[in-house]
Chains A and B, each alone.
Chain A
Amino acid sequence: MPDPRAALAQSPPEAAGHHRLRWKTYLFATVVVLSAVLGNTALAHGMKAVDAASPAQYVTAIFHPWVALGVGLLILWLLTRMTLLSWADLSFVMPITALDYVLTGVSGWLVLNEQLPPARWAGIALIVAGVALVGSTHPSSGRAR
């Protein structure tokens, strides 16, 4: 990967577009990951509080504030992920959004004081390394060709 500043000096409009697409991609990927983690946490928290037993209770559970917040965040997740896929490759988006496993694990350790066994830390390290590798490629192979 050449130095982006050097590329910017060579052909300003194209390099600037490339740069803009990259930051737009990172911004949307961040929203996708955060909405997945927060949405799932809110939904799990709410469903435990509701403790639904019959199918009817599952339907009325949607009116519980935590469940509603979770559903809202998961709708945001779906929409931002779809928007991201309008320009970024699936083979780019899939590995990148696996960061939500990392965030879930680390937040469990930080907030809930859960003990993470060494293997899980190793898994987190591998995911972070993999995401860094994939994230350094161009989000859209259609443009790269």
Chain B
Amino acid sequence: MIRWLLVLGVVASTVVGDVLQSIEMKKVGEVEDFTASGLTRLARTLARRKLLILAIFFMAISFACFMILVSVADLSFAVPATAASLVAETILARILLQEHVSPRRWMGAALVASGVVLLAF
């Protein structure tokens, strides 16, 4: 039971963290200036993005849940759990982020997710 709650914790916090991160980084726009002054300016912009800070908080929760999960369950149980977040994120990218997910991308994501599940055996 506790294992499944931890899986839920990992998947939910990963999905929320990644979606928030994607939203905020799209607002920042394509990073093109990789000089020292450009990166300093970027760091200042990122530090002001509230949802980005929240995203990193969720990633930390996801990391903590995963660490506890691997301490109470086998890695072969824990790793395929991340396949669920991959599927959930692709669906949310389509619905929430309005990304154009082409059939080729759906198929690729499905192949990757089933491949990750197979890693458990």
- Asked if chains A and B come from one complex, the reply is yes
* Chain A residues engaging chain B, CB cutoff 8 angstroms: 78, 82-83, 85-87, 89-92, 94-95, 98, 101, 105, 117, 119-120, 122-137, 141-142, 144-145
Q: Hey, which chain A residues are within 8 Å of B21, CB to CB? A: 82, 85
Tell me whether A131 and B112 are in contact (CB under 8 A).
yes
| Majority DSSP secondary structure for residues of B touching A | helix
Tell me whether B119 and A133 are in contact (CB under 8 A).
no
Is the CB of B53 closer than 8 A to any CB of chain A?
Answer: no
Q: Hey, which chain A residues are within 8 Å of B121, CB to CB? A: 117, 119-120, 123
Say whether, besides A85-B26, A134-B108, A137-B105, A90 and B89 are in contact (CB < 8 Å). yes
Question: Count the A-B residue pairs with Cβ separation under 8 angstroms: how many?
Answer: 129
* Chain B residues engaging chain A, CB cutoff 8 angstroms: 18-19, 21-22, 25-26, 28-31, 46, 52, 56, 59, 79, 86, 89-90, 92-94, 97, 99-102, 104-105, 107-119, 121
Tell me whether B109 and A123 are in contact (CB under 8 A).
no
Identify which of B46, B56, B59, B112 contacts A134 (C-beta below 8 A): B112
